[in-house]
């Protein structure tokens, strides 16, 4: 019996291109915001601003992983997007529980409310896309 394998669908094709574009947009926005906050008022909320910088880094690496496709790109994207989901939920909860930790908005504070909750929806879409384009054999 000959086993036929269904090829893995590329994460950088079709709707994946839009997902990558949104990750790049958020990478630029988060990097710009974190850079400005760290440069001008780091002493006011260092934890919040460093978390914004971490979010920016995660968006960059996730975008690269999705764009590269392939086995390694998928694994990198999966790791980043999983950390992103935990981060946005964790920071969202912390920012509501202790407003003193987040005196200024960050990408993930309030579950991404300052960005139309896209930071909360984006990792869910990213994980769905990785699942949808997985190897089915």
pLDDT of residue 65: 96
For the segment 37-46, what is each residue's pLDDT rounded down to a tens digit? 999 999 988 8
Name the residue among 110, 106, 132, 135 with its Cα closest to residue 19.
Answer: 132
pLDDT of residue 136: 54
Q: What is the mean pLDDT of the chain?
A: 90
Per residue in 78-106, pLDDT (tens digit) is: 999 999 999 999 999 999 998 888 888 88
What is the number of helices (H) and of strands (E) in the chain? 4, 0
Q: Is residue 24 classed exposed, middle or buried when 0-12, 13-18 and 19+ CB atoms within 10 A define those classes?
A: middle
Q: How confident is the model at residue 137 (pLDDT cuts 50, 70, 90)?
A: very low
pLDDT at 6 over 50: no
For the chain, give the number of residues: 137
| Residue 35 reports pLDDT greater than 80 | yes
* More confident site: 121 or 9: 121
- The predicted pLDDT at position 2 comes to 54
The whole-number average pLDDT for the span 5-19 is 80
**Residue 1 confidence (pLDDT):** 56
What is the rounded end-to-end Cα distance, in angstroms, of the chain? Answer: 15
Q: Confirm if 15 and 129 have CB atoms less than 8 A apart.
A: yes
Q: What is the mean pLDDT of residues 14-35?
A: 95
Average pLDDT estimate for 63-76? 94
């Amino acid at each position: 019996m000959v086993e036929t394998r269904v090829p893995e669908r590329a994460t950088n094709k079709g709707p994946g291109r839009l997902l990558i574009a949104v990750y790049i947009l958020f990478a630029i926005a988060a990097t710009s915001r974190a850079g400005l906050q760290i440069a001008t008022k780091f002493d006011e909320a260092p934890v919040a601003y460093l978390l914004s910088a971490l979010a920016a880094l995660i968006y960059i690496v996730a975008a690269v992983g999705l764009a590269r496709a392939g086995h390694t790109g998928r694994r990198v994207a999966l790791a980043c997007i999983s950390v992103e989901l935990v981060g946005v939920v964790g920071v969202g909860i912390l920012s509501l529980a202790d407003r003193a930790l987040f005196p200024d908005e960050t990408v993930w504070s309030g579950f991404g409310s300052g960005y139309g909750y896209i930071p909360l929806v984006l990792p869910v879409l990213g994980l769905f896309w990785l699942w949808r384009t997985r190897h089915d054999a």
